[in-house]
Structure 1
Amino acid sequence: MATDEHGAQDNAHPDLGVFAGGVAVVTGGASGIGLALVEKAIASGMHAVIADIEIPAIDEA
């Protein structure tokens, strides 16, 4: 878990690096909070599977 300058845990911005190489399956991952989670997971070295009912949005994501 990331910490701030005082050593307190930064729960608002969790470090997903401990899951590097893993797979995140994100429902609703084509937009909004789901897409933000997908982007964070990929930036942390994870693979991501996006599930959503909006097929065109998945293609754009």
Structure 2
Amino acid sequence: MTEATPRNPMAAAHPVRSVAVVGDRIESKDLFGAVRVIQIVHGEQVYQLRVTANDKLILVK
């Protein structure tokens, strides 16, 4: 049996985490875990969502 190629090539190099979605809500602490910046892939674009020093969220391309 052959292993399927990951849809996201970055996924092979990074651990997979599960995030609980309740209704239409995701807790940011679950989304970020121990990191301050995550990448969000939307179509062909990659965005960074970061937690600031003031505990605010900033989304940048």
Same fold per superposition (TM over 0.5): no
Where relative contact order (Cα < 8 A, 6+ residues apart) is larger, the structure is 1
TM-score normalised to structure 2 length: 0.25
TM-score by length of 1: 0.25
Higher strand share: 2
